[in-house]
């Protein structure tokens, strides 16, 4: 189970954007990187072309670049500070009556589920 998932609120702990917070837009598990909203913005030059409606596309735009997953930490929903992620195994019941175990992520600082 992943420590950081899409939609999580994270804070950058190192790099040029240290201290910024944002929501995770995409997780790239193979490269161990995440794309965070408003963090690690770079300028991208796109080739000028025409869309099907006749509008011209292209030019210079700013986009979010991937940042290494070790450079971000989750934000605790209770204290609004950075926290480590823990996993807890809980038992539940299936609709057919059988038991099942579920791994739940929780914030180590406050103990609240994520």
Query: Where do the domains of the chain lie?
Result: 1-75, 76-113
Instruction: Evaluate whether 83 touches 73 at the Cβ level (below 8 Å).
Output: yes
Please give the Cα distance from 74 to 23 (Å, whole number).
10
Question: How many CB atoms neighbour CB 10 within 10 A?
Answer: 23
CATH of domain 1-75: 2.30.30.30
- pLDDT tens series, the chain, 114 aa: 578 999 999 999 998 999 999 999 999 999 999 999 999 899 988 888 777 776 677 788 888 999 999 999 999 988 889 999 999 998 888 788 788 888 899 998 888 888
Instruction: Evaluate whether 78 touches 110 at the Cβ level (below 8 Å).
Output: yes
Enter the pTM of the model: 0.77
């Amino acid at each position: 189970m992943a420590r950081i998932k899409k939609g999580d609120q994270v804070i950058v702990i190192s790099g040029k954007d240290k201290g910024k917070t944002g929501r995770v837009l995409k997780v790239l598990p193979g490269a161990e990187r995440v794309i965070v909203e408003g963090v690690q913005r770079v300028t991208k030059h796109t080739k000028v072309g025409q869309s099907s409606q006749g509008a011209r596309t292209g030019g210079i735009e700013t986009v979010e670049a991937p940042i290494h997953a070790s450079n971000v930490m989750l934000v605790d929903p209770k204290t609004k500070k950075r926290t480590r992620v823990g996993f807890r195994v809980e038992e539940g019941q299936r609709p057919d009556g059988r038991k099942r175990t579920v791994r739940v992520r929780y914030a180590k600082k406050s103990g609240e589920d994520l």
